[in-house]
Amino acid sequence: MSVRESIGLHEQSCTSCLICVRDCPSQCIEIERHTEQLTEGRRPKTVHVLDAFRIDYALCMYCGICVDVCPTDALIWSPVAGLALPSRAALVSDREDLARRAQ
Ligand code: SF4
Ligand code: SF4
């Protein structure tokens, strides 16, 4: 069984679909995204582009639902610890920190 110290994000696999946001029972995942039109190929296509991704570990209960429901395996359990932080604000893991935890 993998070590579950925190959650990591493989940004390149995230489609900003918001499934993890909707299914998180603690409502501790926050995503900002925008849409772009792709004109390559035969038909124009609209895609979501990730702007920000945050997990608030002050609220997270480590249930793993976000990891389980992510359709692209962008969210993973990480062996990287370091969440015993001194302030409430420091418990919010941002995009860069989540990416570091996925390496
Ligand atoms: S582990 Fe559970 S509570 Fe924590 S972010 Fe994922 S779905 Fe939300
Ligand atoms: S469920 Fe996965 S692909 Fe969808 S927004 Fe969350 S991390 Fe990204």
Place of tokens 């995942």: 29
Separation CA 31–CA 37 (nearest Å): 20
Residue 84 pLDDT grade (very low, low, confident, very high; cuts 50, 70, 90) = low
Residue among 9, 19, 53 to mutate when testing ligand 2 (max atoms within 8 A of CB): 19
Whether the model pTM is above 0.85: yes
Q: Is residue 23 part of a domain?
A: yes
Report the domain count for the chain. 1
Say what the pLDDT of residue 1 is: 55
20 Cα to the center of ligand 2, angstroms: 6
Residue 15 pLDDT grade (very low, low, confident, very high; cuts 50, 70, 90) = very high
* Residue-number span of the structural domain to which 41 is assigned: 6-101
List the CATH number of the domain containing 73. Answer: 3.30.70.3270
Q: Is residue 1 part of a domain?
A: no
Q: Which ligand is nearest to the CA of 64?
A: 1
Q: Is residue 20 part of a domain?
A: yes
Q: What is the mean pLDDT of residues 24-36?
A: 97
Q: Is residue 87 part of a domain?
A: yes
Q: Is residue 33 part of a domain?
A: yes
pLDDT greater than 60 at residue 18: yes
